[in-house]
Amino acid sequence: MPNAALLVVDVQNDFCPGGTLAVPRGDSIVPGLNRVISAFTGARLPIFFTRDWHPANHCSFKAQGGIWPPHCVQGTYGAEIHGGVQRPSGSVLINKGDDPGKEAYSGFQGTDLADRLRKLGVKEVFIGGLTIEYCVRTTAEDALRGGFAVHVILDCVKGLEIHTGDSAAAVDEMVRAGASTMTGADVAELFGAQQ
């Protein structure tokens, strides 16, 4: 599958245990993600990391009338990619949500991610990361709207689960929109990684 890319969405310290907007056991997806990252690296396929990169006065924060506590503020520890995640030297980091007046859950919103993928000839994307109900779901849906085939790696995503069933509902929405689902083991096998 030479036309594939991996999108690792927002696996940042603030979304992991101890962070200001922590996903319960959000860091539990890191080992599985690393296995997939290793498979893509071995297959010499592109890997993109997205991250929230919010100014301190971002519109999504409660102090500005938004719904979230301050998180992933530019230049802070909370905005950094989780230290356990393997980031290959050739991978690309995409900042999003850096306009104080605009929300940006999707890795495609206000970024050049789609252009970068198209320039590389990418036709399909494999997605893992945080959180499944917000940034993962909107990234997947924008990828589908952009004409990419989308595969969501189910054991490499996790949700806030503010309401019971939110994560499952997000998966259903993505599948209805045209995404397929896989496991990390499926992806690793697909790209010939050692089991």
Is 96 considered catalytic here? yes
Task: Give the model's pLDDT for residue 195.
Answer: 38
CATH number of 4-190: 3.40.50.850
Residue of 135, 142, 155, 158 with catalytic role: 135
Rg over alpha carbons for the chain, rounded to the nearest Å, is 16
Predicted TM-score (pTM) of this structure: 0.96
**What's the pLDDT at 50?**
98
Mean pLDDT, 10 residues at a time, the chain of 195 residues: 90 98 97 96 96 97 95 98 96 97 96 97 98 98 98 97 95 98 94 57
Report the 10 Å Cβ neighbour count for 32: 20
pLDDT at residue 194, as a whole number? 40
Residue ranges covered by each domain of the chain: 4-190
- The active-site residue, picked from 72, 96, 155, 156, is 96
Count other Cβ atoms within 10 Å, centred on residue 194: 8
Distance CA 61, CA 87 (A): 28
Bridge-based pairing state of the strands 4-9 and 124-130: parallel
Q: What are phi and psi of 167, to 5 degrees?
A: -65, -45
Alpha carbon distance 189, 82 (integer Å): 25
Which of 10, 52, 142, 155 is labelled catalytic?
Answer: 10
